[in-house]
Structure 1
Amino acid sequence: MHREKNSEGVLELSGISKRFGGTLALDNVSLSLRAGEIHALVGENGAGKSTVGKVIAGIYQQDGGELLVDGKPVSKWNPSRAQKEAIVMIAQELALVPDLTVEENVFLGVEEHRVGIARRNLTQRFGELESMVGFGLDPKAKVRNLRIADQQKV
């Protein structure tokens, strides 16, 4: 997670639960993440590490509990909102589209949808992200041509 806005609590999970059918994947999970911290979730397979990460990144919606950003409850949390709050997750499994470019993959699923603006803004948005994070990757390179370590950066 990367955030520069302030040093207060950036994201908090309080009593989070998540079910997939009859399987309880998360049960009463609480976690507080602050600006500038780096966290690793460690545990056995099936412990819920990926599920917690996907709730944080806005990929999954929790079934119970509360998600707070800067101390305020958030009801509509999704990847686009998380990214606007400078909250991201680097997953261990690669979910890339090999025939797309680096910049297209980075913003896949959070594209701007105004006519004529999306392609032009993609390069600008990637440039802004690059200046903050420093990927060191060619935004126009096809993902299929990258080393695995560089694919993980994407």
Structure 2
Amino acid sequence: MSISRFAALAVGLVAAGSLVGIAAPQASAMAGSCSGGQLTMNTNPIGMNEGPVTAQIDGQLTGCTGTPSQTAHFTGDFTGNGSCLDVNGMVNANLDWGNGQNTTANGPYHVAGGPTPPPSTNTVPTSDGGSMTVQQAGPDAGAVTGPCLSDSARTLSVPITNVTFA
């Protein structure tokens, strides 16, 4: 077959493919939820005065439906600014589902602080083009009160009450 005939055939196949809608598969956003979990943040020492905060995060999601599996373990990092009274920053996390699939979440994240931290909600974009909305209870302030007052708080435990993927 000559090069010109081969080129004509290739153009014809490309045109035919576009007419019948042949396209590369695209990942669709997950539509599911998890009924609980736990987030642990291991930070540089923080206290009552605002300053840079970096943390390694670790945790799990449980009671999941409409997701790749019923559980997920996540790890990642957090960078931001704050104190024991309030922290805002960016999270970059890898969710490893129980069936071996992975999802990445990267975006803004807030952790409420203070003597009686209120619940908070964060919506973070995910690698499948969707997002995850994390509802969390207030962190365990009693465990960090002493360390916060001495500018040495390093570990924060945050209960996750619900996560919705959309």
TM-score between both structures, scaled by the size of structure 2? 0.25
Structure showing the higher strand proportion among its residues? 2
Q: If each structure's helix is expressed as a fraction of its own residues, which one has the higher value?
A: 1
TM-score (norm 1): 0.26
Greater Rg, structure 1 or structure 2?
2
